[in-house]
């Protein structure tokens, strides 16, 4: 059987999402109807996620005519990772990273090098996606090097992928900080240098995810 969730986004538009187990019809501010016998506990999480997700208006920031430098990179061509590493290596005071998948030893090494030269580095990642030996090894490495890292499981997915550097520059895009993103996937990365207003928006978002996270303790279990 399947779940059909319909969210009343406006008078004429409904978002439909399908999963296994049973049938659910949902209207925001209306009712939730569950049909069939299924894994109700699993369904509840989905219902709550959609019920309380309120849409914010996008924020528009007017960039100054001069001063902002834009760098674009792609994978697997290699320019996406180079753009990210260049930004990390440019850091002088602070790096804040939000990640979905974190398995890249190259990016981990760059973050550790930044930490060793006195940069304040902090990382928050998705909890569920990083419960594998590659991610655990990467997280163990950065935490043992002295970098605070938290995992976040407040959402269906903590799917953010961005870096804020020195409160003035930000990188974002589809690029996961993973080995697969470097040499297997088609990905993109966009870096804005000297864009403090845009970076401030990402930092505020990062702070909320960091606050909702839990300190990662190195794990040495075999996978």
pTM above threshold 0.85: no
For residue range 2-44, what is the model confidence (pLDDT) as tens digits?
333 333 333 333 333 333 334 444 434 333 333 433 333 333 3
For residue range 65-100, what is the model confidence (pLDDT) as tens digits?
678 899 998 888 888 899 999 999 999 999 999 998
Q: Are residues 112 and 139 in the same domain?
A: yes
pLDDT at 223: 52
pLDDT at 110: 97
pLDDT at 222: 58
Q: Are residues 117 and 194 in the same domain?
A: yes
Domain enclosing residue 200, as ranges: 69-215
The secondary structure of 151-162 as a DSSP string is EE-SSS-----E
Q: Are residues 42 and 84 in the same domain?
A: no
Residue 164, pLDDT above cutoff 80: yes
How many domains would you assign to the chain?
Answer: 2
Q: Residues 101, 178: contact at Cβ < 8 Å? A: yes
CA distance 147 to 171: 20
- Phi/psi zone of residue 38: left (φ > 0), alpha (ψ -120 to 50 degrees), beta? beta
Q: Are residues 94 and 202 in the same domain?
A: yes
Burial 128-162 (b: 16+ CB within 10 A, else e): ebbeeebbbbbbbbbbeeebbbbbbeeeeebebbb
Q: Are residues 113 and 16 in the same domain?
A: no
CA distance 220 to 175: 27
């Amino acid at each position: 059987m399947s779940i059909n969730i319909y969210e009343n986004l406006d008078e004429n538009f409904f978002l439909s999402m399908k999963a296994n187990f049973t049938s659910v019809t949902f209207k925001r501010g209306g009712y939730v109807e569950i049909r069939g016998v299924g894994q109700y506990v699993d369904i509840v999480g989905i219902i709550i996620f959609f019920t309380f997700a309120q849409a914010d208006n996008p924020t528009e920031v007017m960039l100054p005519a001069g001063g902002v430098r834009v760098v674009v990179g792609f994978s697997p061509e290699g320019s996406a990772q180079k753009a990210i590493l260049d930004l990390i290596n440019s850091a002088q005071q602070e790096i804040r990273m939000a990640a979905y998948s974190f398995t890249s030893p190259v990016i981990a090494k760059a973050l550790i090098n930044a930490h060793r030269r006195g940069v304040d580095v902090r990382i928050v990642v998705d909890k569920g996606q990083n419960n594998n030996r590659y991610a655990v090894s990467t997280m163990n490495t950065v935490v043992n090097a002295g970098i605070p890292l938290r995992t976040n499981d407040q959402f269906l997915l903590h799917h953010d992928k961005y870096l804020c550097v020195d409160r003035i520059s930000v990188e974002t895009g589809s690029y996961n900080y993973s080995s697969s993103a470097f040499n297997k996937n088609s990905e993109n990365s966009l870096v804005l240098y000297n864009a403090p207003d845009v970076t401030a928006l990402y930092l505020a978002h990062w702070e909320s995810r960091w606050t909702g996270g839990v300190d990662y303790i190195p794990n040495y279990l075999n996978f």
